Amino acid sequence: MATPNLFLIYVTDVEHSTRFYADLFEMEPVTITPRYVPFEVAPGVLFALWSGRSDTVTTATPRTSELGLMLPGSASGVDDCFAAWTAKGATVIEEPHEDVFGRTFVVADPDGNLIRVSPID
C-alpha cells in the first residue's frame, strides 16, 4: 500500500513563505519555482509550498488543519523551540500549555496556516 509522501501547504506569496519556512525550520528547499517550493523532510517525503490556487486560497480562508513538528526530549525542548520561533517573529496562536499532546504550542505562517509543536508520542 502507498503511504503519503507529499504534503502541500497553500500560500499566497511563495517567495515570502519560502523565507519564513526556511528560517523557521532551518532548512533549505530542494528547488524553488515561482509557484511550488518543496522541502525534503525525510528521504522521499516532501513538505511543499504551493500557490497554484492562489486565486481561490486567500489569507481570509480559515485554516483547519495543522502542520506538526514533534520534538524529541522533554517539555523544556518545546519551550525552547517556542522561545526561538517567537524571537524569529512567528505569530503565536496558542502559548505553550499542557494538552493531550503533552507540552504544546501553535504558531501561524504568513497565510494563517497552523504549525503545532509537541513532544514525540
Domain match, 87 and 111 both: yes
| Average pLDDT of the residues in 82-109 | 95
Q: How many domains does the chain have?
A: 2
pLDDT grade, residue 63 (50/70/90)?
low
CATH number of the domain where residue 85 is located: 3.30.720.110
Average pLDDT value over all residues in the chain: 90
Domain match, 83 and 112 both: yes
Domain match, 42 and 16 both: yes
Q: What is the pLDDT of residues 6-57, one digit of tens each?
A: 999 988 899 999 999 999 999 999 999 999 999 999 999 999 999 876 566 6
State the residue range of the domain holding 3.
1-51
Domain-embedded: residue 103: yes
pTM of the full structure = 0.85
SS3 sequence of the chain: CCCCCEEEEECCCHHHHHHHHHHHHCCCCCCCCCCEEEEEEECCEEEEEECCCCCCCCCCCCCCCEEEEEECCCHHHHHHHHHHHHHCCCEEEEEEEEECCEEEEEEECCCCCEEEEEECC
The per-residue pLDDT for 1 is 61
